[in-house]
Amino acid sequence: MKSRIPSFENLILFQDDDYLVVNKPPFLSSLEDRQDTTNLLQMARSFLPGAQLCHRLDKDTSGALIIAKHPEAYRSMAIHFEKRRTVKQYHTIVEGIHDLREMKISAPILNVKGSKARIDYKNGKPSLTIFDSLKAYRKHTLVRCQPVTGRMHQIRIHLLSIDAPIVGDLNYGGSPFFLSTIKRNYQLGKFEVERPLINRLALHARTLIFPLMNLSIMNVEAPYPKDFEILLKQLEKNT
């Protein structure tokens, strides 16, 4: 079940005269979505009419996102992104045990029909992601992901390419996460049906490092949302 979306003010992690950084909840679209009446840009413009998103996150992905307060700030951040002066780091939980130490994956990615993409060495666009394992559990690994390029579903596709699909990512090889898969002697009630512990892919935009208008460097970390935090606690408890 989708959680209630907090007020925009409660999403703010940082702000100055030029930028806001918010912690986008899962299940909230960055831009207009035909299926939902509420999106992050709409919420931002209700708070500040001239607000503009400097980048976006997929609907089911949570985490840190930069919003410009005025056109000059937006143009400046667009240049920083183009020149790769910003750093985005995601945390994700993947299936299996993986010892990744600054592993660089550069498989080219091609957008295909609809909202999917795939690795294509002939027609794909250059893509680079850096992965580091943060902690291994009994059957899963917490991984930090740093996309250097920004292709659609890049992290998800690159992880699948090394047989490390993201928990709950049904479009790219992942499976739903059931507590029974890690908890010993797990039992359901007679008429109960087990539900996944997280109802989305376990991907969170954890850290943003970027230049402000005065060129000082800002580092913002987004706390985990409740579903991601619960999943991690269960992994810790049942390791």
Catalytic residues: 58
Which residue, among 156, 105, 150, has the nearest Cα to 130 in the 3D structure? Answer: 105
Helix (H) or strand (E) holding 237: helix 226-237
User: Which positions ≥6 away from 114 have C-beta within 8 Å?
Assistant: none
CB atoms within 10 A of CB 222: 21
Which residue, among 238, 110, 108, has the nearest Cα to 181 in the 3D structure? Answer: 238
Q: Which amino acid is at 53?
A: L
Rounded Cα distance between 150 and 196, Å, is 29
- What DSSP letter does each residue of 59-93 carry, written as one string? TT-EEEEEEESSHHHHHHHHHHHHTT--EEEEEEE
Rounded Cα distance between 204 and 40, Å, is 16
Instruction: Report how far apart, in Å, the C-alpha atoms of 24 and of each of 7, 64, 196 are.
Output: 11, 6, 22
